[in-house]
A = this chain, B = another copy of it.
Amino acid sequence: MKVRNLIGERFKERPSDCVIDSHMFMIKGGYIKNVANGIYSLFPPTKRILKKIENIIREEMDRIDGQEVLFPVVLPGSLWEESGRYESVGEELLRFTDRNDSKMVLGMTHEEAAVHLVREYAQSYAKYPFMIYQIQTKFRDEARPRAGLIRVREFTMKDAYSFHTSQEDLEEYYARCYEAYNRIYARCGIPEVVAVASDSGMMGGSVSHEYMLLTPAGEDSIAICGECDYKANMEAAESIIVNNADIQMGDLEEIDTPNASTIEEVVNFVNLPITNMCKAVVYQKNRDDKYVIVFLRGDLEVNEAKLTKVIGEKVHAAVITEQSGIVAGFIGPIGLPTDVEVIFDSSLKGIEYLVTGANKVDKHVKGFNIKRDCGDVDYKDITKIIDGGICPKCGKNSITISRGIEVGNIFQLGTKYTKSMNMQYLDANGESQYPIMGCYGIGVGRTAASICEVHHDEYGPIWPITIAPWEVQICCIRADDEETKKFSDSLYEQLLSEHIEVLYDDRDMRAGAMFADADLLGVPLRVVISPRNMKENLVEISSRDKKISLKVNKDDVVNEIKRLIKQLYDEINQAVK
């Protein structure tokens, strides 16, 4: 491919409204074009990158005995009604009707389709275990698409589904898939991806992991222990709070706190540590707008994923009306309206002396003691784990919070889908059983963008050779110089005949502009051919990451390129376990 023919423009200017670098470079470098909110067309370099990532995924899925299938993008609503998700999933599931007024959905994940495909086939225990996967377009009607290919509405995803006759068998396969994912990311040049324990969310099931690429640009927060191997999404990380009863129990006393409605104001007013504050956060249930009030230690924050899990449904930030009887800014556990659901976070456990709202305007109470004043309450873990907090695994104060992009996930689903969709098999004793499922996803486009996010310099992406759009780029400086052009042309033809993926820039333009384009295209090896070097029979070869920079005799250039390509592949493959 010649750069002069390559579809897509590269820009000098930094595009506006790109908050993260990968988005910026993928616009600036002619990789993607926005078609609608969260929907992109992909230019040739991106398509080439995606194909390489897909092939790596395919090889690793095949290696763990996966069988590639293809499910439809458009699915009948009836299939999602069987599993119950037609009703339970929110607006991110795009529902519509076809010309015959049949309910249809756009597949955002394919558990239902997977069960549909195999439920007649797999009626005997002898057919198990097996895994099927596809690489296919998905659509998720995100409320807030952002960050280029990181969070889109339409995306290419590899989704895999395994079926088992025992939990042990699922766990064994899950472990194989866990390793396959590590291999995939390592082969894609991002061995730094870490698997973290996660919340299963709408997928159902118990054990699950997310694969996180740690980067400040990530939108997920991950709790990582510096002492042991504990890693978890903040949404799932257990928050362990140990309170010392520094202040002894005291009398319950109502106090005037005029205009002190925030925690900081109350702390200043009563002159007690924030850890003695009993803070209220008010939510409403999505379904019926019923109020839910969470009480937690003043310095902590609510983890809404945990809250959803505890109450079994989704909530939103509350709108507090006058008729609700709730006095915003002065809420406390004593004297609340009776139709409000109250949850005490476990961070309040063990505190003898608390300050909280009195449920009256400009009034708080001090000396509040939960056990004495409210009896035995059922504490729940609702707060976010904090930086410097206690590791749920090793117990040390060794948690740090990092940001990450989720590039994949694996779930132990259990029988949620096989039960609801009535998929059964006969076991060795002739008895009917529900198979146990696992599911395993990787966002292909998001993986590409994530690689760009962690592998770039100020000039553009630095693609790892395993997924780079081309392996080598030839820059012919001064295409108007006959000897330079002739040698460049012949090198291009030679590399093509050696099946090396080569991009050739023979445009008649300034070297600086040509290099700027090459930086944006991020091809790992660059060969620069110029009249000055030609005079000495030399050719410059460098790597996009600047670690390699050498001049070789022009007669050795093909062999040298082949050697360097091999070296770059070897470097990546050494990181693969």
Contacts and interface: CB of A to CB of B under 8 A. Distances in A.
A98 B139 CA distance: 11
A79 interface: yes
Give the oligomeric copy count: 2
Contact of A154 (B42, B68, B72, B143): B72
B154 A74 contact: yes
A499 to B, nearest CB: 13
B99 A91 contact: yes
Contacts of A98: 94, 141, 153
Top 8 closest pairs, chain A to chain B, by CB = A96-B96, A36-B76, A42-B70, A44-B67, A91-B99, A39-B72, A41-B117, A99-B141
A153 B69 contact: no
Contacts of A104: 36
Interface in A356-406: none
8 contacts: A41-B71, A41-B113, A44-B69, A44-B132, A50-B70, A51-B68, A74-B153, A98-B141
Contacts of A116: 33, 35, 41
Given A94-B96, A99-B141, A116-B33, A40 B72 contact: yes
A272 interface: no
Nearest to A36: B76
Nearest to A96: B96
A5 B118 CA distance: 12
Contact of A136 (B8, B92, B97, B137): B137
Contacts of A121: 7-9, 30
A258 to B, nearest CB: 44
Given A9-B120, A120-B9, A139 B70 contact: no
Contacts of A75: 35-36, 39
B47 A106 contact: no
Contacts of A73: 73, 137, 139, 154
Given A94-B99, A141-B98, A7 B74 contact: no
Contacts of A113: 35, 41
Given A36-B104, A91-B99, 16 more contacts: A7-B69, A8-B121, A35-B72, A35-B116, A36-B74, A37-B102, A39-B72, A39-B75, A44-B68, A47-B68, A73-B139, A73-B154, A74-B106, A94-B99, A98-B153, A99-B143
B137 A65 contact: no
A48 interface: yes
A6 interface: yes
A541 to B, nearest CB: 26
Contacts of A74: 36, 39, 106, 139, 153-154
A230 interface: no
Interface residues of A, number: 62
Contacts of A5: 65, 67, 130
A43 interface: yes
Contacts of A139: 73-74
A185 to B, nearest CB: 22
A254 B47 CA distance: 72
Interface in A31-90: 33, 35-37, 39-44, 46-48, 50-51, 65, 67-76, 79
B42 A7 contact: no
A130 B7 CA distance: 8
B69 A43 contact: yes
* Most central of A79, A121, A130 by chain B CB within 10 Å: A121
| Residue among A69, A117, A118 having the largest count of chain B Cβ atoms under 10 Å | A69
Nearest to A34: B116
Contacts of A134: 47
A91 B71 CA distance: 24
Interface string A526-557: 00000000000000000000000000000000
A552 to B, nearest CB: 30
A39 B96 contact: no
A491 to B, nearest CB: 20
B118 A7 contact: yes
A71 B156 CA distance: 11
A118 B153 CA distance: 22
A74 to B, nearest CB: 5
Interface string A210-254: 000000000000000000000000000000000000000000000
A406 to B, nearest CB: 22
Contacts of A117: 7, 33, 41, 43
Interface string A1-37: 1000111110000000000000000000010010111
A13 B82 CA distance: 29
Nearest to A155: B72
A56 to B, nearest CB: 16
Nearest to A110: B41
A11 B37 CA distance: 46
A427 to B, nearest CB: 18
